[in-house]
Amino acid sequence: MREIAILGIGQTPISEHWEKSLRAIAGEAVLAALADAGRERADGPALSAVEGLFVGNMLSGLLNRQENLGALIADWVGLRGTEAVKVEAACGSGAAAVRAALMAVASGAMDCAVAVGVEKMTETVGPQTTAALATAADADWEAAQGLSFVAINALVMRRYLHEYKWKHTDFAPFSINAHANAVHNPYARLHDAITAADYNRARMVADPINLLDASPIGDGAAAVVLVPADLIPRNGRPVVTIAGSASATDSIAVHDRRDPLWLSAAAESAKKAYAQAGVGPADIDVFELHDAFSIMAALSLEACGFAERGQGPRLGLEGQIHPTGRVPIATRGGLKARGHPVGATGAYQIVEVAQQLRGEAGATQVPGAKIGMAQNIGGSGATIVTHILKAN
C-alpha cells in the first residue's frame, strides 16, 4: 500500500459555538489544515489540489437536521464539485473518515484528500442529545430498554470494579491527568485542573460514573490533509506518516460479548496496526486513547497491550500516564477535558498525535516522541479504529 503522510493539521476550539453553523465549524478546520500544509511545505497543496473530502460525523441528521454533509462542507470551503462523502461509525466516525481518506489516496484514485471530523451538539436540549447518543448502541436491545450511553458504560465500570477489586477513586488519575494537560491546550473544552478531592466529590451521573469520569460533549472540528509520502519534498522538517491503520468491530450490544470487559476490537485493530507499522506497545511514545469514560481508558490500555488485564488503573496510580511517563495518554486533554464532539473526536486525536510527533505540543510535549498511536471508539467498543503515526 502506498505510504501516506499527514501534511496539514487543523482544528477549532471545542466549545459551545452558538455563533457558527455546522458547515462553518467544519470549514474552519479544513481551511486551517490546508493553511498548515502550506506552512509545512512551501508547495503544500492548494485548495484546488484537494480531490476528495471525507467527513466524519455521527449526529448531524438527528441534531442538525442535515445529512449530505460531504456536498455541504465541500461547497462551503470552496471545493464545490469535488468528491465528498460522510463516513459514520458513531463516536468512531472521525478516525473512520481519516481511514477512508487514507484508502482513497492509497488506491490511487486521488493524490490529495482531506478528512474532517465535525460535530455540533450543544444547540440542542440535553434529553435530545442523550437520546441521539444512544443510537451508537443497539437500538432494539439496549436503547429501547432505556439504557442511555452513559448507563451502558456504568454497567461496564461496575462490573470491572467488582471483578478486579478496584475502588472508584483508583480511576482518578485518568481524569486528573487529562484535565492537567488540557490546561495547556488552547483548543480544549475545559481548562480547569482538578484534584483527587474534586474527583471524589463530583456529582453522580450513572453510578459509578460521576461527572469527572465522563467526557463533555461540545462543538468542534479537526482536519488532516493526506498526500502520498513520496510526493512531499524534504525540507528538514519531519514528515508525519501513517504507518498503521486498521479498523475492527465487535457486537454492538455489550451483553452479546463473551467478556464485557475486553475490547476485542481495540485489541484486533491495534494488533493489525502494530504489524503494519512494525512496532509494539513498547515502541509507542504517545497514545491518544478514547477516554469517553475513565473506564474506557483502562480497558483501552489493557486491550492494546500497555497493561495486563484488569490492571489498567495501575498505570495511572503509578504516575506513568503523564507526558513524561512511560505511557503518555490524553496529552492534549483527551476526551475527558479536550472534549468529545463525538464524530470529530477521532480526527482531533490524530491531529494531536501529529502535534506530538512534530514537537508542537508545548507544555505537554512528550520528549522525543517519534511514534504515536490514536485509537477511536464507536459505541461501547463496537467499532474501533487505530492509527499509528511516525515521524520520519
Q: Quote the CA–CA distance of 81 and 75 in Å, as a whole number.
A: 8
Segment near its own copies (CB under 8 A), from 181-189, 279-287, 304-312, 375-383? 375-383
Query: Which of 265, 284, 286, 337 touches its own copies (CB under 8 A)?
Result: 265
From the list 91, 112, 304, 322, the catalytic residue is 91
323 preceded by cis ω (within 30°)? no
What is the distance of C-alpha 157 from the center of its chain?
A: 21
What are 344's three cell numbers? 470529530
Query: Which of 20, 35, 75, 161 touches its own copies (CB under 8 A)?
Result: 75
By CB under 8 A, is residue 296 in contact with its own copies?
Answer: no
Query: Which of 1, 46, 193, 204 touches its own copies (CB under 8 A)?
Result: 1
Active site residue 112: no
Contact 284, 373 (CB under 8 A): yes
Pairing of strands 4-11, 220-228: antiparallel
Closest CB 128 distance from its own copies, rounded Å: 12
Residues 6+ positions from 161 with CB-CB distance below 8 Å: 167, 168, 208
**Angle at 322 (CA atoms; ends 321, 325), nearest 5 degrees:** 75
Segment near its own copies (CB under 8 A), from 63-71, 193-201, 347-355, 360-368? 63-71
Segment near its own copies (CB under 8 A), from 79-87, 192-200, 279-287, 365-373? 79-87
Contact 260, 159 (CB under 8 A): yes
Query: How many residues belong to the site for its own copies (CB under 8 A)?
Result: 67
Cβ proximity to its own copies: between 72 and 307 the closer is 72
From the list 17, 290, 340, 387, the catalytic residue is 340
Query: Which of 36, 40, 119, 138 touches its own copies (CB under 8 A)?
Result: 138
Residues 6+ positions from 323 with CB-CB distance below 8 Å: 181, 286, 331, 361, 364, 365, 366
Q: Quote the CA–CA distance of 315 and 100 in Å, as a whole number.
A: 33
Q: Quote the CA–CA distance of 379 and 148 in Å, as a whole number.
A: 11
By CB under 8 A, is residue 131 in contact with its own copies?
Answer: yes
Query: Which of 87, 284, 301, 335 touches its own copies (CB under 8 A)?
Result: 87
Q: Quote the CA–CA distance of 227 and 4 in Å, as a whole number.
A: 6
By CB under 8 A, is residue 247 in contact with its own copies?
Answer: yes
Segment near its own copies (CB under 8 A), from 64-72, 156-164, 174-182, 313-321? 64-72
Query: Which of 28, 36, 88, 170 touches its own copies (CB under 8 A)?
Result: 88
Q: Quote the CA–CA distance of 323 and 356 in Å, as a whole number.
A: 10
By CB under 8 A, is residue 137 in contact with its own copies?
Answer: yes
Cβ proximity to its own copies: between 135 and 392 the closer is 135
Q: Is 70 helix (H, G, I), strand (E, B) or coil?
A: helix
Burial zone of 241 (CB within 10 Å; 0-12 exposed, 13-18 middle, 19+ buried): buried
**Angle at 327 (CA atoms; ends 322, 329), nearest 5 degrees:** 60
Cβ proximity to its own copies: between 178 and 227 the closer is 227
* DSSP bridge partners of 91: 89
Query: Which of 35, 49, 103, 279 touches its own copies (CB under 8 A)?
Result: 103
By CB under 8 A, is residue 90 in contact with its own copies?
Answer: yes
Q: Could you tell me which of 257, 268, 321 has the C-alpha nearest to residue 291?
A: 321
Residue whose C-alpha cell reads 474532517 in the numeric block: 116
By CB under 8 A, is residue 221 in contact with its own copies?
Answer: no
By CB under 8 A, is residue 140 in contact with its own copies?
Answer: yes
Segment near its own copies (CB under 8 A), from 89-97, 171-179, 219-227, 346-354? 89-97
Residue whose C-alpha cell reads 455541504 in the numeric block: 72
Cβ proximity to its own copies: between 143 and 190 the closer is 143
By CB under 8 A, is residue 69 in contact with its own copies?
Answer: yes
Closest CB 322 distance from its own copies, rounded Å: 33
By CB under 8 A, is residue 227 in contact with its own copies?
Answer: no
Helices (H), 292-342: 294-303, 312-317
- List residues near its own copies by CB under 8 A: 1-2, 21, 58-62, 64-72, 74-75, 79-90, 96, 99-100, 102-104, 106-109, 131-132, 134-140, 143, 245-252, 256, 264-265, 268, 378-379, 382-383
Q: Which residues participate in catalysis according to the annotation?
A: 91, 340
